[in-house]
Every structure is written in C-alpha cells, then in structure tokens.
Structure 1
Amino acid sequence: MDIRVGRNYRLGKKINSGSFGEIYHGTNVLTKGPVAVKLESRKTNFPQLVFESKVYRILKGGVGIPNVHWSGKEGDYNVMVMDLLGPSLEDLFSYCGRRFSLKTVLILADHMISRVEYMHSRNLLHRDIKPDNFVMGNSKRTHLVHIIDFGLAKKYRHHKTHKHIEYGTDRNLTGTARYASINAHAGVEQSRRDDMESLGYVFLYFLRGSLPWQGLSAKTKEDKYKLIWKKKETTTVAELCEGFPDAFAKYLTYCREMSFNQQPDYGHLKRLFRDVFFEQGFKMDFAYDWTTSQTHENKSTSTRENQAVRRRESNLKRGATIGDLTPSLQVPDRVTSKEAAVREFYSRSRKSSMRRSSSRDAPVITQRSRRSLIPPRNHSTSGSHHTQLQTNRHMQLPRRVTTALNTRASSTNPRSGQQNGRHQLQPNRSTATTKRRQNAKDSNALRPIDELKKR
C-alpha cells in the first residue's frame, strides 16, 4: 500500500516510536532520496511537532542542524519530513560496549558544545540534553554530530531586544532526570548554564560508562527524581571526575558556578578539551571508536576467512575430498537490533565511499593512449581476436571505446588480406558507402506506399 504525506513523500518501515509519536523511513518520490517522517497524533494532550518544526526553521542553515523538507497536517496527524540521519550517540555507546575512549569523548565534546552554542546564539535553550538527541550524519557527513528533538526547547531572550527571561522558582523538572542540572532539580527556571551542565554529565557518562545516580529505585517517579537530585548534590566534582583529565572537573565546576543570565564562554570550554586532545598526541582524523572497531572487525573476519580457505586447500592436498571437509561455523556474538543497524549503516557508508574513490581514481584515456592500446598487425585472425579479448578484459575501457577499437583494429585490407594499420582509427569508407546506398534503395522502394497513404 502506497502511503504518502505532503504529496511527494512515501512512507516506509517504522524506525522508532515513543510518547512523542512515531518516526518512519520515507522516500522522496521526485528525487528518490531517503528522508525521515515524524508523525504525531493531533489528539495528543501535549502536541510538540508543530512547535518543533518552527524551531527547525529558526535554526535552519546551522552546522549539524537537520533540514526540514515539509511539515503540515495529514488526516489525524501532524507530520514533519526531515533529513534521514545516522545512529544516535546512545546507540553507538551501546555498540562500543557502553564506554567511549578519551579521544572519542574529546572530539564529541567539541562538536556538542558547538551545537548548543549555535542554539543559544539563536535565542533558544534545548532543555533535554542527552545522548539520544545527538546523532551522526548520513552519507558524506558520517563524522559530523547533529543535534535533534527540539520539542522541549524554549526561548530564553527576545530575538530583537535580547532581554533575558526572568529568574523563577517552583518550576517542574523539564528534560531527562539523569542529565538534568542541579538547579533544574531544585525547580529553578532553566537558562544557558543548565544546557552546559547537562553536557558535562553526558561527557562523564561516556567516559565512566554510567553515572553514580543511575539504578536508583523508588515507588514513584517524583521520589526517584528526588533521590537522583540528592545523589548529584552529595557527589563532589572530584569524585565524579576521578581518574580523568582535570579538564572535565574544570568544565563542570565552571558550569555550576555560572549565574542565571550569564553567557557561557564557549571558546574557553572548548579549549579545555582541545588542550587535552593535543597533549595526549591525538590526531583530528575523526576516527571514532565505532569506526575503528568496525575496521578491526572487518580485518579479523577477512583473516578468519583466509585461514579457513588455506586449511581447506591443505586438507585437499593431503587427499581429503570436498565432501569430507565440513567448514567450521563462526557463531557471532549476540547483538541487539540497534547494534546490527549501526553495523549495517557504517558498512554501507564505507562501500559507497569506496565506490566514489574508485570512480575518482579511474584513468583518463587520451587519443594517444587509445592508439597504443590497439593490437599490433597480425596475419592471423585468431591471434588478433585473442589480443582484442585480452585488451577488453584487462584495461576495462568504456564499452563504446572498446567496441570501436575492436571494430577498427580487426578491419582488413581487401587487397593484401592483412589488418589495415594505416587507418585504424578511420571508419571503413567502402562499408559506409554501401550501407548508404542500400538505405537509399530501401527508401525509394517505400516511397510509393507513403504517397498512397497520404492520398
């Protein structure tokens, strides 16, 4: 069944679902390009998609901001069509064994601070900073971190006067409790400092593998939020950042000491992590943990396959029959559907990049090189044919060029019976003249019938 939204976007399989609605894989029927289609019931108590599409329009053009292709209403749903991106950082975190290396965290920190800085420059707060809301790019931008899900975003100052919102208390907790700031737990109106503090908790979550306030149990959500709040307040920055570079402790201390309407020094915060990056001798090659682990996995797989082939060949040499050789099955580790999707996504991206690089590296054939590829004169027709086949198979010329070369190289001199090497790149004039005369005779023969049809 062909289901379309916005007239030009066909719905595919479901990607994700939750309290916000559902996300589907889609296709632009005009460009055949992939898109993501976000659906939200219009009967929901707290609709967010219409507001979120407005936020995307405000942020349009920023680095790491997905493009919205269409938004509107279809039946009982609010719909938003946007760029189809790669896996989230939470999915990649699980894929890498629920821990990132220091190098990966430092690169991600630079990207994520820049995304939040751009949002703040457009007078907006995110208010739901978490790994699920940062995703990697698709196609040529697989190295670029994107920020998504602005359903809880809020303006913190007027876009013309830049007047900051007023300080307030007794606010409900907005966002995800695990990464929420201490002030957000206390019911204080959120500002830029709260987004930055939440980023700090995400960085430590990636480094540590978990946060001290995870796994707490309570009877109600409110009680659990209070336990998380209390654990955050009693856990010192030194305890939280123990075993890691001082930059993380300095970052978190800076964010907690900021005033309500203070503008963060984004450059200073990014320099903290960049200094550690270069002190450790890392290279900015965007070699994330999930890309390097995938490379090692491919190498180990190919090594195992080569070893299996060599074992089978050696067994055959010793006299065993093919039927006696039972290949050993490699039982893969159990992976989740998200991990399998991550594997498929990055293997597909590598294949497409390899195709692009191979097409760029294709040799350019000039007129002189074409002549050098023509086989030499040979009195034997079979030998000439063999040479042409070798040229076609190894040089892999375009089909049009190969056909022309074979035709012209195999043309023979009617007087001597040898190949005509003098005019190998010239068409056979006698053959062309004969074809023109034959076509003229055919057209003359059909002319009376055409005239009768006209009458």
Structure 2
Amino acid sequence: MNLTGLTYRIAPYREAKLGHGAYSWVFKATERGSDKIVALKKSRVSTKVKRPLLRHETRILQLLKGHATIPSVYAYGQLEHFEYMAMEILGPSVAERQKKNGIETGVMLTTVIRIMDQVLAGLEHIHSLGIVHRDIKPENLLCSLDNSTIKIIDFGISKPFPKYEPFKERRVIVGSLYWASLNSHNGIDLSYRDDLESLAYIALFLLRGHLPWKPRPHEESQLHSQEIVRHMKSSCSGKDLSEGFPVEFGDLLDYSRSLDFNQLPDYGMFRCLFASLAGETSDGQFDWTPCYTQTVKFILDEPKVEILDEDEDEDDGDDLGEDSYIGMDIDIARGGSR
C-alpha cells in the first residue's frame, strides 16, 4: 500500500500481527526501497468521515515529535474503507512485562521509579503543548526495542485542553475503566490532572502487583461496572494504597486529585522526589525481575449500586460526516483549518 509516497509491505497475517485495540490493528511491515521495519496501524473508516481517528493521531504525534517518549510517525494514508499510519516499531508494553511476572506480582522499585521519571517527563512535554492524553494505562506505555526507554502511544482519543470550565454531563467514562480518574467516573471533563492520576494508579499497581478494584465481568452492564469501580476508588487514598512502600507514590495520587481543572502539575517536584528514592540507578535496560511483595491486601466490600437508567445510545450505523474519535479537531483547536 502507498502512504503519502511511501509503500509498505505487510508480511503474512500470522507473522505480521503485533496487536489490536478497540478500533484498530497493528501489523509489522516493511518500507519498500529502504527495508525499514515499521509498525503499521490500520483502522476501518469510511472516506466520508470528516475527521478519521488515525489522521487525528498522526497530527497529534507530529505536534509532539522530538521528545524521547514520543514514537516517530512516518506516514499516513487512506483507502476506501481503511486508514493507515506507519510509525516506529516498539517492544512489549509495561502491561505485557508485568503480566509475564505472574498474577499479583510486583516490579522492582528501581524499575518503577525509572518508568515514573520517564513518563512524568513525557506528560510534561505533552501537556506543555496543550494536549491531554486521556488514556494513560500500562498497555499504552511501550518499551523501546532496546528495553531502555518508555514510549507513550495511542493518542486516538487525546484532545486539546479545553479552554473553558469543566462540565458534567457524560455518564460513560473516557479512557479505560481500571485506570480512569475519579473525574472521568464523575463525568467531568478531563485535564492534565487526570493523566497524572492514571499514572499514579499504574505506579501503585506495578509496586503492589494488584489494586483493590478488580476487572469487571463482561456480562455486567457498563454503567454498573463504572459505578462499582468509582465507589472503590473513592474509598482509597494514596496513603492507603502506598502502605508498605515509599509514601511518594501515594502522594502522587493524592496530589493529582487535589489539582484544579486548569492547573499544570509540578512534574519536576515528583521527578526529584523519585530521583532521591532511587539513589544511583543504571540508565541501561529495565530490570523486570519479579518482586514478591508482602503487601496488605485491601478487602473492600463491593458496594450495592442501583442504576436507574441503563439505556445507552445505540449505533445507528450512519457515520456520514461524523468524527471517528471523541474531541475537537487538533487543527481547529490550534487556530488552523481542517
């Protein structure tokens, strides 16, 4: 396939597939002429859709380029039923690395500190350019091929920071249920603080190997799951979740929850705090050695919740002239044109 003058060849399906998300698939591909190996992201979309998801993500990545935590994007193209984005190929995600260690198994403290330092630096860069990621989770933090750098991916639902006061009207959360901020659960517009809260959950999860709220059963309604997890998150402070570990990790959670809607976090303060914890650390590869911690397990009674109206919008299949992602067009937000 030809993307903006570049041609890519995908290997046979079983060999080429690297992963998939809710709206897209990722394949290993080769750039003809240079034989460069890339990750080719593919998403189904009509040519009549005004602002396709991968085009939006490509523009975000182009805006953010130049930072160590931002993957390189090489090309974008669209065919009749699909759009494609060629980008830097990366290694396993933090989620995959942790999962290999085993259920409820933690990660080495020095590794968690290095991950936090790099992602905090990445978020500072992203936020300084007026972008809110809105879906920070272990699956979206990938290791570089040399296992020394964390790359932040999946900017499909990222959007420019809203220049108005937050409002509450949504009942369905933005992002991923397990890692979503309390503001997301409460239907409040997301801002910089919410990316930070999700990062704090990741740090605590990597240290502990688990969090008190568990993944919900598939047969449970979306709104019911959201309400149960919201109650459980509301019951846990950073101090509670960091018991047995350096308090700085719990402080990060409590701090993120204390921020105002339009307030930029003090990333440098927490990077310094984590650096003081780490002492002398290697800049080489991450150490994913399993860490069997003796943490106090939270036993929270699952709340009984009643959802009065669980009717959800149904997809009528008419996507003509519609956006394929949630949010304002990045060019319009920055004063440009579509």
TM-score by length of 1: 0.58
Tell me, yes or no, if structure 1 residue 96 matches structure 2 residue 94: no
Q: Which whole-Å CA distance do the structure 2 matches of 1:255 and 1:18 have between them?
A: 27
Query: How is 1:362-401 mapped onto 2 (pairs within 5 angstroms)?
Result: none
Which residue of structure 1 aligns with residue 259 of structure 2?
A: 258
How far did 1:47 drift? 4.2
Q: One-letter code of the match for 2:256?
A: C
- Please give the alpha-carbon distance, in whole angstroms, between the structure 2 residues aligned to 1:63 and 1:236: 32
Deviation at 1:116, TM superposition (A): 1.1
Residue identity opposite 2:286 in structure 1:
Y
* 1:216 CA displacement: 4.5
Greater relative contact order structure (CA < 8 Å, 6+ sep): 2
Is residue 2:80 matched to residue 1:82? Answer: no
Contact 1:40/1:47, CA 8 A, preserved across alignment = no
Is residue 2:284 matched to residue 1:283? no
Residues of 2 paired with 1:153 and 1:92: CA distance? 25
Structure number with greater Rg is 1
Aligned positions of 1:7-406 closer than 5 A? 7-12=6-11, 13-43=16-46, 47-97=52-102, 98-138=105-145, 141-156=146-161, 164-171=163-170, 172-217=172-217, 219-278=220-279, 282-290=280-288
Q: Deviations over 1:108-142 (max 9, x none)?
A: 1101111111110111000000001111112xx53
Once the two structures are TM-superposed, the CA of residue 96 in structure 1 deviates from its matched residue by: 2.7
The one-letter code of the counterpart of 1:90 is A
* Superposed displacement of residue 200, structure 1: 0.2
Mark the runs of 5 or more structure 2 residues left unpaired by the alignment. 291-338
CA displacement, residues 302-323 of structure 1 (integer Å, 9 cap, x when unaligned): xxxxxxxxxxxxxxxxxxxxxx
Bigger proportion of residues as strand: 2
Counterparts of 2:35 and 2:268, CA distance in 1? 41
The structure with the greater share of residues assigned to helix is 1
What CA distance in whole angstroms lies between the structure 1 residues aligned with 2:214 and 2:157? 23
Q: Is the 8 A contact 1:129 1:195 kept in 2?
A: yes
Q: Distance in 2 between matches of 1:249 and 1:14?
A: 38
Find the residue that maps to 1:178 and give its secondary structure: helix
Tell me, yes or no, if the aligned pair for 1:41 and 1:77 is still in contact at 8 Å. yes
**Matches of 1:167 and 1:74 in 2, distance apart?**
37
1:185 partner letter: H
- State the one-letter code of the partner of 2:206: F
Q: Please state whether the residue corresponding to 1:289 is helix, strand or coil.
A: coil
Answer whether contact 1:5 1:11 (CA < 8 A) is retained: no
Quote the offset at 1:284 in angstroms. Answer: 2.6
**Is contact 1:89-1:135 (8 Å) kept?**
yes
- CA gap 1:287/1:28 in 2 versus in 1, 3 angstroms: closer
Three-state SS of the structure 2 residue aligned to 1:72 is strand
Question: TM-score, normalization: structure 2?
Answer: 0.78
Measure, in 2, the Cα distance between the counterparts of 1:150 and 1:36: 15
Instruction: Give me the whole-angstrom Cα distance separating, in 2, the residues matched to 1:85 and 1:233.
Output: 35
Matched pairs, number: 278
1:398 paired residue number:
none
Q: Is the CA contact (8 Å cut-off) linking 1:115 and 1:147 kept in structure 2?
A: yes
Q: How far did residue 183 of structure 1 move?
A: 1.3
Please identify runs of 4+ aligned residues in structure 1 that moved more than 3 A: 43-47, 215-218
Verify the 8 A CA contact 2:26 2:41 in the aligned structure 1.
Answer: yes
**What's the secondary structure of 2:134's corresponding residue?**
coil
Amino acid at match of 1:16: G
Change (3 A) 1:229 1:35: same
Q: Give 1:188 deviation, angstroms.
A: 0.9
SS in 2 for 1:106: helix
Question: Are the counterparts in 2 of residues 128 and 174 from structure 1 also a CA contact under 8 Å?
Answer: yes
3-state DSSP class of the match of 2:106? coil
User: Aligned partners of 2:216, 2:17: CA distance in 1, in Å?
Assistant: 32
**Alpha-carbon spacing, 1:236–1:247, altered in 2? closer, same or farther (3 Å):** same
Distance in 1 (CA, whole Å) between partners of 2:239 and 2:255 is 13
The correspondence for 1:5, drawn from 2, 6, 29, is 2
Helix, strand or coil: the match of 1:142? coil
